[in-house]
Chains A and B, each alone.
Chain A
Amino acid sequence: MEAMAHKNLKEPIIITTYQTQCLEDYINDGGYETLKNVLTKYKPNEIIEQIKASELLGRGGAAFPTGIKWDFTAQIKADHKFVVCNADEGEPGTFKDRWILEHKSYSLIEAMSLCAYSVGGDKGYIYIRGEYTESINSIRKALKEAYDNGFLGENILKSGFSFNIELRRGDGSYVCGEETALIESIEGKRAFPRFKPPFPGIKGLWGYPTVINNVETFANIVPIIKNGADWFKNYGTEHSSGTKLYSISGSVNKSGIIEANLGVTLKELLDAAQGMKNSKTFKCALIGGASGGFVYKDELDLPLSYETLKKAGKTLGSGAVLFLSEDDNEESLLKNILTFFKHESCGKCTPCREGYPKLIAMYEAFLENKIKAEDIMKLADVMFKTSLCALGQSVRMPLETYLSRKYKKL
């Protein structure tokens, strides 16, 4: 991405490029060269092998290997296959996809076309968060230019390959970012998540095989194909290759988007964000958004990669990092999180629909010392084990990472 284009990301950098790109600049920079090259010189499975070799993990939160995902869909014979870009970006504290949508829109479209070529897709959708007016405008413009210049549509660059992309707007519901709910929404239905399996890669949009990837995942595709899997693996850690866009917010001096290698420590991110605001001391950070976990002082040196956080019982999720100082209060933040989930629960399944209101009542009772933390965790555990989608499952992590810390202190 920004740093990757310069091929020398050593230290975390704050993204500062906020001027909009135009097609001419993109093309002068080698844009659409990769697509042209691939369409004329490479077989679809060669691209998939390249993505597999890069070990790119999905950036939407679940960190599923992208190459393997594409391969599933490529293997199936079907009359239609779809490629969907998940640009719903609903995770609280996450705003990195927005930057890509507004500043790397051409690369995104090129990547979706590459994906379609690799898996045999004929139609694409970009499902974009409705509130992102600027992003919608920038994608609209980029799509029009791509059509006007033969990069999209029938017989792309006279290669015989055809691919169309349509833009769909979300309408302010967090669950629409869940891939199967998003698919229902594109189909014109209410966004209730589907059960999995079957996964979208096998049976997705209108029952056809569908690759669905996060914006940031797609943004890594052109650089990988252009520079090769080995180049990509220079960045990041052994099991989390590449760089990551971290959405930094909270009580730091410089909030914004920071691009850094996967495996960067929280301390390094804090330094890049120019430290805590008003010289306050760092208390903890919430990593991964509302469905993420709290990381405390003694974990400042923990490398932020998918595998290390998983091992520590946390998640990198979307890469949102919310810094809290001594003056900030995790207790009320947690209350906020619970209220958020209650508000966003789609209502389809019992444990999430009925669990969140109860969890809030219990949490309030807990703050008044009327019940024990274990009681809350019991319910959170039932929700984790029995909810249909991750919206109902994920609350266990913020609760557990906070409450287990609180016990220790007690």
Chain B
Amino acid sequence: MDNKIYVKVDGKLYRTAKGTNLLEFLKSVNINIPTLCYHAKLSKTAACRLCLVKTNKNNIITACTQEITENMEVITSDEEIEYLRRSVFELLVDELNTDCDTCQLDGLCELQQLAKQFDVKLHKKSNKYKQDTSSPVLTYNPNKCVKCFRCIKACDEIEGKGVLNFAYRGQDMYVVAGLESWASSECDGCGECVQVCPTAALIEKNLLNFDKVIPFEKHVTTCIFCGVGCQMDVWLKGKEILKVEGADEIPNHGSLCVKGRFGIDGLLNDDRLKTPLIKENGEFREASWDEALNLIAKKLTYIKEKYGSDAICGLSSAKCTNEENYIFQKFIRAVIGTNNIDHCARLCHASTVTGLIMSFGSGAMTNSISELEKADAILITGSNITEAHPVIATFIKKAIKNNNETTAQ
């Protein structure tokens, strides 16, 4: 016997595990239920009141807070449900300044999609609240805020920082960082809040330099700032970077830190080296890759022939990916013909590598990053993880939060 039970949805019978969340189940069988406050990575909130359905156990409930129980029958749409959802939605948009025509996220906004679905027209209105533009990386516009709690919960539940909450109550309520503003708060700019926001209430400051995000191209790549190796989606408009989002992949599962999300603008900076430079008569001059590589090949061949392979050594960097480092050592060994290959991490990591080999048999991680979340005890030596590897720090914070017994020292 498994713990699967039957549930009837709009007259159709399904089988699922007892206790499954109703909204998640309905999504999984492609039944579209409107919602704004629900987010797969966050605890349930039940604030927007849009995912209304009826069950045979209760008249009208929010699907996001309902567990599937034995012999449950669900109606996901009837005249009353549609009327109530639409009424709630109208109440919500009534107070917002939905200036879609001049909004960067026009066409990408969840509120806009729902408006289409409900056939509710969105209009530009006057701004009621002051914006908070004090953060160097993001801006908050309460006039577009649907008060879904997602940013607050992301900051607390995913990042373990708890910087955000609502201030004031009723219709006067809006999101506040710290006691007053983003700039004066403890926000470190990871931007998790921006990524979960369903509207343009929270956006990357960089987006303000553009009229519209659409059309854009999205490229998946690996962050090069630290060894965590977060996967990220870089949104490009032509050659310009619009923004960066955490990709929902191992190891970061959608999260990024301030470096990965907001630090790669250096890529297009004028001060950055964009072509190889060759020094002639004490002066650097720009050169093409072909010219530079030919010069290097010529000189390395010359040294190898004249002084032997061991006259050459290679030193690579922790800034490179594993793949790049692998190729480099292969080149030094197989092409140059020497074992003189080293890496900057040998100096800083020699002690941990040796220690790990002696204790666990391998000089690298023996667990996946997300497994940290389940650890009973975590021993940290010589590292300031929240600064050096911030995304790993979020998993350690989760371990401490989820399990009272976990100690990180």
Using a CB–CB cutoff of 8 Å, the interface residues on chain A facing chain B are 173, 190, 195, 197, 342-351, 353-358, 379, 382, 385-388
Indicate whether B369 reaches chain A with its CB closer than 8 angstroms: no
Q: How far is the CB of B404 from chain A (nearest CB, A)?
A: 10
Q: How far is the CB of B333 from chain A (nearest CB, A)?
A: 57
Indicate whether B169 reaches chain A with its CB closer than 8 angstroms: yes
Q: Given A350-B88, A354-B92, A355-B91, are A388 and B170 neighbors across the interface (CB < 8 Å)?
A: no
Q: Which of A173, A197, A356, A387 contacts B49 (CB 8 A)?
A: A387
Interface residues of B in 13-46 (CB under 8 A from A): 44, 46
Contact status A351-B88, CB under 8 Å: yes
Q: Which of B47, B50, B87 contacts A388 (CB 8 A)?
A: B47
Instruction: Provide the residues of chain B in CB contact with A386, threshold 8 Å.
Output: 49, 52, 60, 84, 87-88
Contact status B92-A350, CB under 8 Å: yes
Contact status B49-A347, CB under 8 Å: no
Measured in the bound complex, the distance between the Cα atoms of B170 and A347 in whole Å is 4
Q: How far is the CB of B42 from chain A (nearest CB, A)?
A: 14
Instruction: Provide the residues of chain B in CB contact with A349, threshold 8 Å.
Output: 46-49
Q: Given A349-B46, A350-B47, are A342 and B88 neighbors across the interface (CB < 8 Å)?
A: no
Contact status B46-A388, CB under 8 Å: yes
Contact status A358-B166, CB under 8 Å: no
Q: How far is the CB of A178 from chain B (nearest CB, A)?
A: 13
Instruction: Provide the residues of chain B in CB contact with A358, threshold 8 Å.
Output: 91, 94
Interface residues of B in 168-215 (CB under 8 A from A): 168-173
Nearest 4 pairs of A and B residues by beta carbon: A347-B173, A354-B91, A195-B46, A345-B170
Q: How far is the CB of B269 from chain A (nearest CB, A)?
A: 42
Contact status B170-A356, CB under 8 Å: yes
Instruction: Provide the residues of chain B in CB contact with A353, threshold 8 Å.
Output: 147, 170-171, 173
Instruction: Provide the residues of chain A in CB contact with B50, threshold 8 Å.
Output: 350
Contact status A382-B84, CB under 8 Å: yes
Q: How far is the CB of B3 from chain A (nearest CB, A)?
A: 19
Indicate whether B403 reaches chain A with its CB closer than 8 angstroms: no
Contact status A190-B147, CB under 8 Å: no
Instruction: Provide the residues of chain A in CB contact with B59, threshold 8 Å.
Output: 385
Indicate whether B62 reaches chain A with its CB closer than 8 angstroms: yes
Measured in the bound complex, the distance between the Cα atoms of B165 and A348 in whole Å is 12
Q: How far is the CB of A352 from chain B (nearest CB, A)?
A: 8
Contact status B91-A350, CB under 8 Å: yes
Q: Given A348-B47, A351-B49, are A343 and B88 neighbors across the interface (CB < 8 Å)?
A: no
Contact status A382-B62, CB under 8 Å: no
Q: Which of B94, B165, B168, B169 contacts A354 (CB 8 A)?
A: B94
Indicate whether B65 reaches chain A with its CB closer than 8 angstroms: yes
Using a CB–CB cutoff of 8 Å, the interface residues on chain B facing chain A are 44, 46-50, 52, 59-60, 62, 65, 84, 87-88, 91-92, 94-95, 147, 149, 165-166, 168-173
Measured in the bound complex, the distance between the Cα atoms of B186 and A310 in whole Å is 51
Q: How far is the CB of B392 from chain A (nearest CB, A)?
A: 27
User: 14 A-B pairs, CB-CB below 8 angstroms?
Assistant: A197-B65, A342-B170, A342-B171, A344-B169, A345-B170, A347-B171, A348-B47, A349-B46, A349-B47, A353-B147, A353-B173, A354-B92, A354-B94, A358-B94
Contact status B170-A343, CB under 8 Å: yes
Instruction: Provide the residues of chain B in CB contact with A347, threshold 8 Å.
Output: 147, 166, 168-173
Instruction: Provide the residues of chain A in CB contact with B52, threshold 8 Å.
Output: 386
| Residue among B47, B59, B62 with max Cβ neighbours from chain A (10 Å) | B47
Looking at chain A's contact residues, the main secondary structure is helix
Contact status B170-A346, CB under 8 Å: yes
Instruction: Provide the residues of chain B in CB contact with A351, threshold 8 Å.
Output: 49, 87-88, 91
| Further 19 A-B residue pairs, CB within 8 A, beyond A353-B171, A382-B91 | A190-B166, A195-B46, A345-B169, A345-B170, A345-B171, A347-B171, A350-B88, A351-B88, A353-B147, A353-B170, A353-B173, A354-B94, A358-B91, A379-B87, A385-B59, A386-B52, A386-B60, A386-B87, A388-B49
Question: Which A residue's beta carbon lies closest to that of B64?
Answer: A195
Measured in the bound complex, the distance between the Cα atoms of B60 and A379 in whole Å is 16
Q: Which of A197, A343, A350, A357 contacts B48 (CB 8 A)?
A: A350
Question: Which A residue's beta carbon lies closest to that of B83?
Answer: A382
Question: Which B residue's beta carbon lies closest to that of A173?
Answer: B169
Instruction: Provide the residues of chain B in CB contact with A344, threshold 8 Å.
Output: 169-170
Q: How far is the CB of B80 from chain A (nearest CB, A)?
A: 8
Q: Given A356-B170, A388-B49, are A190 and B88 neighbors across the interface (CB < 8 Å)?
A: no
Measured in the bound complex, the distance between the Cα atoms of B44 and A350 in whole Å is 15
Measured in the bound complex, the distance between the Cα atoms of B171 and A120 in whole Å is 41
Instruction: Provide the residues of chain A in CB contact with B169, threshold 8 Å.
Output: 173, 344-347
Measured in the bound complex, the distance between the Cα atoms of B279 and A329 in whole Å is 93
Q: How far is the CB of B283 from chain A (nearest CB, A)?
A: 63
Q: Given A345-B170, A354-B92, are A382 and B87 neighbors across the interface (CB < 8 Å)?
A: yes
Question: Which B residue's beta carbon lies closest to that of A388?
Answer: B46
Measured in the bound complex, the distance between the Cα atoms of B50 and A349 in whole Å is 10
Instruction: Provide the residues of chain A in CB contact with B62, threshold 8 Å.
Output: 195
Q: How far is the CB of B59 from chain A (nearest CB, A)?
A: 8
Q: Given A343-B170, A346-B170, A351-B49, are A195 and B88 neighbors across the interface (CB < 8 Å)?
A: no
Question: Which B residue's beta carbon lies closest to that of A193?
Answer: B46
Contact status A354-B87, CB under 8 Å: no
Q: How far is the CB of A361 from chain B (nearest CB, A)?
A: 11
Question: Which B residue's beta carbon lies closest to that of A387?
Answer: B49
Measured in the bound complex, the distance between the Cα atoms of B147 and A355 in whole Å is 14
Q: How far is the CB of A101 from chain B (nearest CB, A)?
A: 26
| Residue among A346, A347, A358, A379 with max Cβ neighbours from chain B (10 Å) | A347
Q: How far is the CB of A173 from chain B (nearest CB, A)?
A: 8
Measured in the bound complex, the distance between the Cα atoms of B385 and A268 in whole Å is 72
Measured in the bound complex, the distance between the Cα atoms of B47 and A353 in whole Å is 10
Instruction: Provide the residues of chain B in CB contact with A197, threshold 8 Å.
Output: 65
| Residue among A350, A353, A382 with max Cβ neighbours from chain B (10 Å) | A350
Q: How far is the CB of B81 from chain A (nearest CB, A)?
A: 10
| Residue among B47, B84, B87, B169 with max Cβ neighbours from chain A (10 Å) | B169
Instruction: Provide the residues of chain B in CB contact with A343, threshold 8 Å.
Output: 170
Measured in the bound complex, the distance between the Cα atoms of B94 and A354 in whole Å is 8
Contact status A385-B60, CB under 8 Å: yes
Question: Which A residue's beta carbon lies closest to that of B93?
Answer: A354
Measured in the bound complex, the distance between the Cα atoms of B147 and A357 in whole Å is 16
Q: How far is the CB of A311 from chain B (nearest CB, A)?
A: 19
Measured in the bound complex, the distance between the Cα atoms of B170 and A173 in whole Å is 12
Instruction: Provide the residues of chain A in CB contact with B172, threshold 8 Å.
Output: 347
Measured in the bound complex, the distance between the Cα atoms of B63 and A386 in whole Å is 12
Q: Given A347-B173, A350-B49, are A382 and B88 neighbors across the interface (CB < 8 Å)?
A: yes
Instruction: Provide the residues of chain B in CB contact with A354, threshold 8 Å.
Output: 91-92, 94-95, 171
Instruction: Provide the residues of chain A in CB contact with B87, threshold 8 Å.
Output: 351, 379, 382, 386
Contact status B48-A195, CB under 8 Å: no
Q: How far is the CB of B63 from chain A (nearest CB, A)?
A: 12
